Amino acid sequence: MSTETRTTVVWDYAPAPESVDHIRLKDRYGLFVDGDFRDPSDGRYVPTINPATEEPIAEVAYGGPDDVAAAVESARAALPKWAALKDLERAKYLFRIARLIQERSRELAVVETLDGGKPLRESRDVDIPLAAAHFFHYAGWADKLRYGVNAREVRPLGVVGQIVPWNFPLLMAAWKLAPALACGNVAILKPAETTPLTALLLAEICQEAELPPGVVTILPGNGGTGAALVRQKKINKIAFTGSTAVGRDIQAALAGTDTRLTLELGGKSANIVFEDAALDQAVEGIVNGIFFNQGHVCCAGSRLLIQESVHDEVIAKLWQRMGRLRVGDPMDKNTDVGAINSAEQLERIETLVAAGEDEGAHRRTIACDLPERGYWFAPTMFTDVSPAHRIAIEEIFGPVVSVLTFRTQAEAIEKANNSRYGLAAGIWTDKGSKAFEVASALKAGVVWQNTYNHFDPTAAFGGYKESGFGREGGPAGLRPYLQIVR
Ligand code: NDP
């Protein structure tokens, strides 16, 4: 086993914990159906856990098959009025939701961090503002739908089922709900089992915005709830973000039906550093690419491709930078890397990291004092990785970067595309022409140049190959929620 552990971490910041006094959480949340919270038909409530402390936060209802069927009926009943509403009126509701998210942003950020384990700095500065921005953006599109689809005549699809993962709970809900509603659809959202709370606060926001009952349904539950939703006959479209395995299951379940489908699945995205790049800037981008949100990011730059001539220099700088990452209490405003979302996810990361060591890659993990309770994994880098290693192929979905090298531009492209995924990529170079050449040769839905993990509601996001199909964001994000009439 070739493991190297850094021992010189200096903790030079006093704790700066965010207050929780201002949040208004109930002890128990039901299913949000027909504009109100209700008990699940089988009375099942399960606690949602803070992954940084393993303490329960609140009890949340689990939607069973009968609840899913009732939700679809309620949504179907709400559809005609909502679809017939003047475009500008629909826009006003979206605008109100966006404003209410902004008003409650501090509370939403704290709850997102408590429920999911991500650093408060990220939920406060990225997740919540971007969620509001998506509602604002699609509020603007609601009365301009034709211009988003080449001036064709369009109509809504109907009832859409939306299943989101745990890595960006509120943001993924906004990515899904905002375009669906702007296009005149009604939506049933299934949040992830481990992070239902901000979606339930969003249900309260829909009430505050006086959104007509049934236009948005929030159905917390487990995988079974999602599977039941997918198999409902009266659903016109499913939009899913999550693992490739579940995406495959959904695609198989919908084969031969007229239910539309978009899938946003996993990734093993290449972050490519050329020798002419500004290396210090690239190192910041590498850190942001893989350690942002503990690496629980579908487009994480988890395969780092470095040009051989600058490999040693980049690794030295990266390792030094990694040593300054602060890992620990996500509620501390200084924390860079928070808790792993669940015990299951921690186990998956540990299994793949052990495989990396067994297969002979060289592991370096930063040393840091991790809290005794909760789920933690210290930032880790693997060098001497071969393209055949599991850690170069499989999505780890944790704070672990696998480093490979290349000599020429052609080799960089070949290696970057040598993946069953194709979600995102990063290119670090000083030459604009090289960036454009490489970007157009990469089979990746999003390519960032001299930056990484940069999200914007106006930009389309989505994948190739096993990363899924369909686009979210910007005008391209309208198309999957509309039928072209003429
Ligand atoms: P899943 O794909 O299982 O979960 C995503 C969502 O789908 C959740 O809401 C989940 O519900 C729901 N779901 C689970 N099973 C079904 C089903 N049969 N039919 C319909 N919906 C279902 O991801 P995991 O949470 O299990 O994570 C596993 C791995 O997936 C991670 O290690 C990571 O590699 C990858 N992943 C990728 C993501 C991405 O954005 N690309 C996001 C999340 C995970 P519930 O949570 O209640 O089980």
pLDDT the model gives residue 225: 98
Share of the chain above pLDDT 90, in %: 94
pLDDT at 262: 98
395 touches ligand 1 (CB under 6 Å):
yes
**Bridge-based pairing state of the strands 36-38 and 31-33:** antiparallel
Give 376's Cβ-side CA count (13 Å radius): 22
Q: Give me the half-sphere count of Cα atoms (radius 13 Å) on the Cβ side of residue 235.
A: 26
Per-residue pLDDT tens over the stretch 119-171? 999 999 999 999 999 999 999 999 999 998 888 899 999 999 999 999 999 99
420: CB partners within 8 A, 6+ apart: 268, 393, 465, 466
Question: How many angstroms does the Cα of residue 163 sit away from the middle of ligand 1?
Answer: 9
Contact 339, 117 (CB under 8 A): yes
Q: Which atom belonging to ligand 1 lies closest to the Cα atom of 299?
A: 41
Q: Which DSSP category does 447 fall into?
A: E
What percent of the chain clears pLDDT 70, i.e. is strictly above it? 98
Query: Is 63 close to ligand 1, i.e. is its CB under 6 Å away?
Result: no
Q: How far is CA 7 from CA 300, 323, 325, 369, in A?
A: 27, 9, 13, 11
Residue type, 219: L
Q: Is the CB of 265 under 6 A from ligand 1?
A: yes
Q: Quick check: 2 pLDDT over 60?
A: no
According to DSSP, residue 209 is labeled T
Distance, CA 389 to ligand 1 centroid (Å)? Answer: 24
Ligand 1, atom 30, lies closest to the CA of 243
Flag whether pLDDT at 6 surpasses 60: no
Q: Is 323 touching ligand 1 by the criterion CB < 6 Å?
A: no
pLDDT at 8 over 90: no
Beta pairing class for 380-383 and 362-366? antiparallel
Which residue is it, tokens 């980049």?
A: 314
Q: What pLDDT band is residue 348 in, cutting at 50, 70 and 90?
A: very high
Would you place residue 1 in the very low, low, confident or very high pLDDT band (cuts 50, 70, 90)? very low
Is 67 a pocket residue for ligand 1 (Cβ < 6 Å)?
Answer: no
- Nearest protein Cα to ligand 1, atom 11: 223
Ligand 1 within 6 A of CB of 348: yes
pLDDT digits (tens, 9 = 90+) for 389-416: 999 999 999 999 999 999 999 999 999 9
Active-site residue identified among 183, 206, 298, 299: 298
Q: Is the pLDDT of residue 226 over 50?
A: yes
List the structure tokens of 281. 């800037």
Residue 309: DSSP 8-state: G
264 is catalytic: yes
pLDDT at 11: 56
Per-position b or e across 18-40, b if 16+ CB within 10 A of its CB? beeeebebeeebbbbbbbebeeb
**In this predicted structure, what is the pLDDT of residue 5?**
60
Q: Is the CB of 241 under 6 A from ligand 1?
A: yes
Give the span between the Cα atoms of 182 and 83, in whole angstroms.
Answer: 10
**Ligand 1, atom 19: closest residue by C-alpha:** 227
C-alpha distances (whole Å) from 270 to each of 90, 128, 174, 425 are 40, 27, 27, 5
Ligand 1 nearest-atom number relative to CA 229: 20
Any atom of ligand 1 within 6 Å of the Cβ of 165? yes
Identify the residue whose tokens are 């590498």. Answer: 286
Query: Which of 195, 230, 243 for mutating ligand 1's site (highest number of atoms within 8 Å of CB)?
Result: 243
Kindly indicate the confidence band of residue 4, based on its pLDDT and cuts at 50, 70 and 90: low
Nearest to 168 by CA among 225, 223, 105, 126: 126
What is the per-residue pLDDT across 421-448, written as a single tens digit (0 to 9) for each?
Answer: 999 999 999 999 999 999 999 999 999 9
- Positive or negative, the CA dihedral 315, 316, 317, 323 is positive
With a 6 A CB cut-off, is 394 part of the ligand 1 pocket? no
> Is residue 69 classed exposed, middle or buried when 0-12, 13-18 and 19+ CB atoms within 10 A define those classes?
middle
pLDDT at residue 209 is higher than 80: yes
Relative to beta strand 303-307, strand 400-406 is parallel
Pocket test for ligand 1, best of 166, 246, 347 (most atoms within 8 A of CB): 246
Q: What is the DSSP letter of 126?
A: I
Strands (E), 102-158: 154-156
Mean pLDDT of the chain: 96
Q: Is 289 in the pocket of ligand 1 (CB under 6 A)?
A: no
Active-site option among 112, 122, 264, 472 = 264
Would you call 73 a catalytic residue per the annotation? no
Cα separations in angstroms, 186 against 140, 230, 253, 467: 18, 15, 22, 26
Average the pLDDT over 266-272 and give the result.
97
CA distance 326 to 322: 9
Whether the CB-CB separation of 361 and 389 falls below 8 Å is answered with: yes
Q: How far is the CA of 398 from the centre of ligand 1 (A)?
A: 15
Cβ(334)–Cβ(376) below 8 Å: no
Q: What is the mean pLDDT of residues 356-382?
A: 96
- pLDDT (0 to 100) of residue 486: 85
The yes-or-no verdict on residue 67 having pLDDT over 60 is yes
φ/ψ (deg, to 5) at 89: -70, -40
Confidence of residue 281 (pLDDT cuts 50, 70, 90): very high
Say whether pLDDT at 380 is over 80.
yes
Only one residue has tokens 């490999």, namely 311
Residue 314 CA to ligand 1 centre (angstroms): 34
- Please give the average per-residue pLDDT across 67-88, as a whole number: 98
Q: Ligand 1 centroid vs 56 CA: distance in angstroms?
A: 21
Ligand 1: centre distance to CA 88 (Å): 35
Q: Is the CB of 178 under 6 A from ligand 1?
A: no
SS3 at position 116: helix
Mutate to test the pocket of ligand 1, among 46, 60, 163, 298 (most ligand atoms within 8 A of CB): 163
Q: What is the mean pLDDT of residues 262-285?
A: 98
pLDDT of residue 9: 53
